[in-house]
Chains A and B, each alone.
Chain A
Amino acid sequence: MKFLSDSALERLREGAEAPDLAGTRYRLLDRIARGGMGVVYAAEDENLQRRVALKVLDVPGSDGDLANRLIREARVLAALEHPGIVPVHDGGTLADGRVFYTMKFVEGRRLDKYIESVISIPDRLRLFLRICDAVAFAHARGVLHRDLKPANIMVGPFGEVLVMDWGLAKILRSADSNVARVADPEATIFEKPNQPSTDGNTTEISVVTGHGTVMGTPGYMSPEQARGDIEYLDARSDIFSLGALLRFLLTGKPEDTTAPGISRLDKSLAAICAKSMAASPAERYPNVQEMALDISRYLVVLAVGAHRESIFEKGIRFYRRYRFFILLIAAYLAMRVLILLFMHR
């Protein structure tokens, strides 16, 4: 038997990793990212002559836990047609036995990278509203994302927002949704293992508890999700993650922190974050629309439902909202005073 050197081992690993696209209409281009389940490649659809993203499992087989998860993700995506949710094109099993699906190739940046170039708070909030839009749509179709975090949000060159990675999605059985019809009947049961992801300092985890399997990302995962109370998860679990995402957009951190270098949040925004991230789901916003409404009210300088203002705060907000007219009237009055003073000299 021939001795395999370390470099031969590396070469064998590299050669064995690429998916076998024989018999498909796709041609492999580059590797884009590696996640917990497998790899995402850029590929060319030779029939339509367009670039697509191809997500493929590492190991063959269409009946394992990871394969079921990938298939379910593809089906959930296929049922969620929304401008804020990445569209899926095709799916199946490759010649090497690995399950795959193809989706729109998103040319953009991850949210955490993108916001480095967006300084204005109102611009960040408008971006956040587009994320809320996509998540609210999914909730209306009976789907919880369960892993909302900056690494799973892409922003395109024209500011379009796409919510990615629906691998942990949960189908709410009670929802009137055609997603529930296409999804795996076991979708609400999560006894599935997961692998560490490689996307930054927050790591997707999977821990088996007495109640179920904990899957999600610390910092963005609701307390009930972290406890493994999966049967009790509803839209308010995603609202917790949206709250953490909002805090991240405003301060650069998902948690409430007063560390040096982190600017203090405006009281209304801090209240929105606090309400979204309340430990008890009952104390959170009941749905994404209400959370988005509070953000929209903040953007047009109206009182937000999450914060009861003092008289002084009301005065400040009144001044901010009508600053132009107040300054105009003040200037007019000042001018009148000057004219009167001049005439009485």
Chain B
Amino acid sequence: MTEEDFQPGGDRFPPTRRSVIEAARSIDAEERERALEALCAAYWKPVYKYVRWRWKRPAEAAQDLTQGFFAELLERGLLDNFDSKKSRLRTYLRICVDSFVMNEDKAARRQKRGGSIPHVALDFAAAEDEFGATVMDPASIPSPESLEEFFEKEWVRSLFTLAVEDLRELCKQRERTRTFRLFEAYDLEANEKISYEQLSNDYGLPVTDVTNALAWARREFRKIALDRLRELCGSEEEFHREARAAFGWDAK
């Protein structure tokens, strides 16, 4: 076994994106903004749902708090204080959200001032529908573990949703929309009754083609999700830990 045997071949693996933590500390304003957009895209829904559940805030207040939080993140440079050796970015942000909500007056003042937030479309109506569909006991008193669990689950949902959207784009670019439809029907619907044979009949394809298409889509999905995740982590070690959490490898 030589070094080459262990090296990935060809151009299959483009260089990974720069970590948002590094980019957010950059002196280049454009790079900082791009980093915060990436961060906001991945975290705004978990933050919104967390504020709704943990702090029991009505939808409108939760929307203001979510916007205010990301504006504060940008203005006060909260990411500068993050140390990936001490905690995960996810946990750090959750704690920042807690402090922010506890200091609501300050948030309200910022709202009046009209703090700027990254250019990410925040579809609060969809987030509210998702929050309503989430199975949880509204009467339950959140424990520290359940808060972490809830935030992690919503963060994984947000990460996977972004990865699925990226995959949809990739399929469109490569003219593999049928592959995406198969992936959507089998993996995203998660309908236990659907089988490869049924998809083969529905799409008029041999079963091997369905198998290959799904294998390709899953491989790309995994690659995209890990690439996005790597971007959201401050170190290689954090990336490995977060990948295990996101894909449920620790639980198995």
Q: Which residues of A are at the interface with B, using a C-beta cutoff of 8 A?
A: 1-13, 15-18, 20, 22, 34, 39, 58-62, 64-67, 71, 74-75, 78, 90-93, 95-97, 99, 101, 193, 195-196, 198
A92 in contact with B1 given A16-B225, A22-B215 (CB within 8 Å)? yes
Known: A8-B189, A97-B12; 4 extra A-B contacts, CB below 8 A, are A2-B161, A13-B247, A15-B222, A20-B219
Residues of A within 8 A of B223 (CB): 60, 96-97
In angstroms, Cα B226 to Cα A124, docked, is: 47
Please indicate which of the listed interface residues A22, A34, A91, A93 has the most CB atoms of chain B within 10 Å of its own CB: A93
Q: Are the C-beta atoms of B249 and A17 separated by less than 8 Å? A: yes
Scan B205-236; emit 1 where CB is below 8 A from any A CB, else 0: 00000000011001101110110000000001
- Stretch from B20-28, B74-82, B95-103, B129-137 that touches the partner: B129-137
In angstroms, Cα B154 to Cα A4, docked, is: 10
B8 on interface, CB distance cutoff 8 Å: yes
- What is the interface of chain B mostly: helix, strand, loop, or mixed? helix
Q: Are the C-beta atoms of B240 and A2 separated by less than 8 Å? A: no
Residues of A within 8 A of B244 (CB): 58, 195
Please indicate which of the listed interface residues A74, A96, A99 has the most CB atoms of chain B within 10 Å of its own CB: A96
7 A-B pairs with least C-beta separation: A16-B222, A7-B190, A15-B218, A92-B5, A11-B190, A8-B190, A91-B1
Q: Are the C-beta atoms of A3 and B164 separated by less than 8 Å? A: no
Closest to B7 in A: A62
In angstroms, Cα B218 to Cα A113, docked, is: 37
Residues of A within 8 A of B249 (CB): 17, 34, 39, 58
User: Can you give 27 contacting A-B residue pairs, CB < 8 Å?
Assistant: A1-B126, A2-B164, A2-B184, A3-B130, A4-B188, A8-B188, A9-B157, A12-B160, A15-B214, A15-B218, A16-B218, A16-B221, A17-B249, A58-B243, A60-B13, A62-B6, A65-B236, A93-B8, A95-B12, A95-B219, A96-B222, A97-B8, A97-B12, A97-B223, A99-B6, A193-B237, A195-B241
In angstroms, Cα B156 to Cα A8, docked, is: 12
Q: Which of A6, A91, A96 is the one whose CB lies under 8 Å from B135?
A: A6
Q: Which of A11, A58, A71, A78 is the one whose CB lies under 8 Å from B247?
A: A58
Residues of B within 8 A of A71 (CB): 1, 6
Q: Are the C-beta atoms of B6 and A15 separated by less than 8 Å? A: no
Residues of B within 8 A of A17 (CB): 247, 249
Q: Which of B165, B187, B218 is the one whose CB lies under 8 Å from A1?
A: B165
B70 on interface, CB distance cutoff 8 Å: no
Q: Are the C-beta atoms of A10 and B219 separated by less than 8 Å? A: no
In angstroms, Cα B157 to Cα A3, docked, is: 8
Q: Are the C-beta atoms of B221 and A12 separated by less than 8 Å? A: yes
Residues of B within 8 A of A101 (CB): 1
A16 in contact with B6 given A7-B190, A75-B1 (CB within 8 Å)? no
Please indicate which of the listed interface residues B187, B214, B221 has the most CB atoms of chain A within 10 Å of its own CB: B187
Q: Are the C-beta atoms of B247 and A60 separated by less than 8 Å? A: no
Shortest distance in angstroms between B18's beta carbon and chain A's nearest beta carbon?
Answer: 16
B48 on interface, CB distance cutoff 8 Å: no
In angstroms, Cα B135 to Cα A7, docked, is: 12
Q: Which of B165, B184, B240 is the one whose CB lies under 8 Å from A59?
A: B240
A91 in contact with B6 given A60-B13, A97-B12 (CB within 8 Å)? yes
